[in-house]
Amino acid sequence: EVRLVESGGRLVRPGGSLRLSCAPSGFIFSSYNMNWVRQAPGKGLEWLSYISSAGSTVYYADSVRGRFTISRDNAKNSLYLQLSSLRADDTAVYYCARDGGHGVTLFGEVIPRPNWFDTWGQGTLVTVSS
Amino acid sequence: DVQMTQSPPSLSASVGDRVTITCQASQDITNYINWYQQKPGKAPKLLIHDASRLETGVPSRFSGSGSGTGFSFTISSLQPEDIATYYCQQYDSIPPTFGQGTRLEIK
């Protein structure tokens, strides 16, 4: 069974830091691009970040660029999201999501980029509050 | 960023009804749109990618269509287990963006 399990969410003070982890199983992790998506309480979905299968290409949403860092360790079968300079509006459930595509083909070259999110974890709650 | 305007925000329908949700993109996104279902307290689930390609295991009563800027998602015969919030998502450009969601209820 293809599965993703997030961990690391907790209550943190404004300005604090946190590292989220995502543990995949049931598929060859190193072959897939991965993403982080969050959902604030009662709100919609917001894509945050993408990392290619080898970790060589990363993208961020403007709202988190410079504060969040995505990374992966294929040898340890793990995906991470380092959160820093946290604010109250970062309070959300954070999901890791496997990318079902392999990028976009332009002029015969495959450009790694987010496509569709075919597998999601159960989410981990980050609460930023004093 | 590409804005995805999804409508209606909420919808009440009866079992067996045909239900349609639309998404309007702020620019041409070809067919780079996906549809997700999210049940309360659960993670989203991918139903359709590339506008009309049904994910394996997803019932055939779900379908999607459209290209360019206008897209629709249809449930041909609403079932009680379809109660959820539905989201569209474009990936023509970075950042990928989601519609605001459509909350579907049983009448």
| Contact residues, B window 40-99, toward A, CB-based 8 Å cutoff | 42-46, 49-50, 55, 87, 89, 91, 94-99
Q: Which of A101, A113, A122 sits opposite B94 (nearest CB)?
A: A113
Contacts of B97 in chain A (CB under 8 A): 47
pLDDT tens readout for residues A46-59: 999 999 999 999 99
* pLDDT given at position A111: 86
pLDDT tens readout for residues A82-109: 999 999 999 999 999 999 988 878 788 8
Are B49 and A118 an interchain contact pair (Cβ–Cβ within 8 Å)? yes
Residues found in chain A: 130
Q: Which residue in A41, A30, A19 sits closest to A98, CA to CA?
A: A30
Q: Does B6 touch chain A (CB under 8 A)?
A: no
* pLDDT given at position A107: 87
With cut-offs at 50, 70 and 90, classify the pLDDT of residue B7. Answer: very high
pLDDT tens readout for residues B83-96: 999 999 999 999 99
Are B43 and A95 an interchain contact pair (Cβ–Cβ within 8 Å)? yes
* Contact partners, residue A64, CB within 8 Å, separation at least 6: A48, A49
- Residue A60 above 90 pLDDT? yes
Are B89 and A45 an interchain contact pair (Cβ–Cβ within 8 Å)? yes
Give CA separation, B47 vs B13, B25, B42, B60, B92, in Å: 20, 19, 15, 10, 18
Proportion of chain A above pLDDT 70, given as a percent: 100
Proportion of chain B above pLDDT 90, given as a percent: 100
Contacts of A120 in chain B (CB under 8 A): 43-45
pLDDT tens readout for residues B55-72: 999 999 999 999 999 999
Are B95 and A59 an interchain contact pair (Cβ–Cβ within 8 Å)? yes
Q: Does A101 touch chain B (CB under 8 A)?
A: yes
Contacts of B95 in chain A (CB under 8 A): 47, 59, 61-62, 114
**Taking the mean position of all CA atoms in its chain, how far away is CA B15?**
18
- Residue A71 above 90 pLDDT? yes
Q: Rounded mean pLDDT of A1-18?
A: 98
* Contact partners, residue A47, CB within 8 Å, separation at least 6: A35, A36, A37, A61, A114, B89, B95, B96, B97, B98
Q: Does A26 touch chain B (CB under 8 A)?
A: no
* pLDDT given at position A102: 83
- Residue B29 above 90 pLDDT? yes
* Contact partners, residue B19, CB within 8 Å, separation at least 6: B11, B13, B74, B75, B78, B82, B104
Q: Rounded mean pLDDT of A6-28?
A: 98
Q: Rounded mean pLDDT of A13-20?
A: 98
Are A117 and B97 an interchain contact pair (Cβ–Cβ within 8 Å)? no
